[in-house]
Amino acid sequence: MYIGTNVRQRLDKEIEALAQAISKSVVLSSAEYSLAATSGYAISKLFARLLALKGNGVTQPGIATVLGTLETVKQEFHRKVAAPFEDRQRNMNGEVFAELV
């Protein structure tokens, strides 16, 4: 996830184009093309293409790599984005679990 600047620079332009395309699809389409569905498709298709391009098809190591990557990204998103947001909301609105913590 934390890759070198040179690799990031090569990928960021393409990632921005994909993000813009997903955003436009969500805005211009009906509710069936929600952000979750559209980004989920893009992420799924990306991993499918990466596995196909490796030439091995579906293998146990490939499955483990995809699942491990998704889990790592999920945990890092929670740590860096969701948890601080929840902390701010708790500070503004009070602790829900006051009797437990």
Give the pLDDT confidence of 63-95 residue by residue, as tens digits.
999 999 999 999 999 999 999 999 999 999 999
- Could you tell me the pTM of the whole model? 0.81
pLDDT tops 70 at residue 33: no
* 3 and 39 inside one domain: yes
What's the number of domains the chain is made of?
A: 2
* 20 and 50 inside one domain: yes
Structural domain including 9 reads 1-57
* 36 and 72 inside one domain: no
Give residue 14's Cα distance to chain centre.
Answer: 15
* 23 and 50 inside one domain: yes
Q: What value does the mean pLDDT take over residues 58-62?
A: 92
Phi, psi of 92 (to 5 degrees): -75, -40
Going by C-alpha positions, the residue among 66, 60, 25 that lies closest to residue 43 is 66
* 46 and 74 inside one domain: no
- Give me the chain's average pLDDT, please: 91
Q: What value does the mean pLDDT take over residues 7-35?
A: 85
Intra-chain end-to-end CA distance of the chain, in Å: 33
CA–CA separation, 63 vs 88, rounded Å? 36
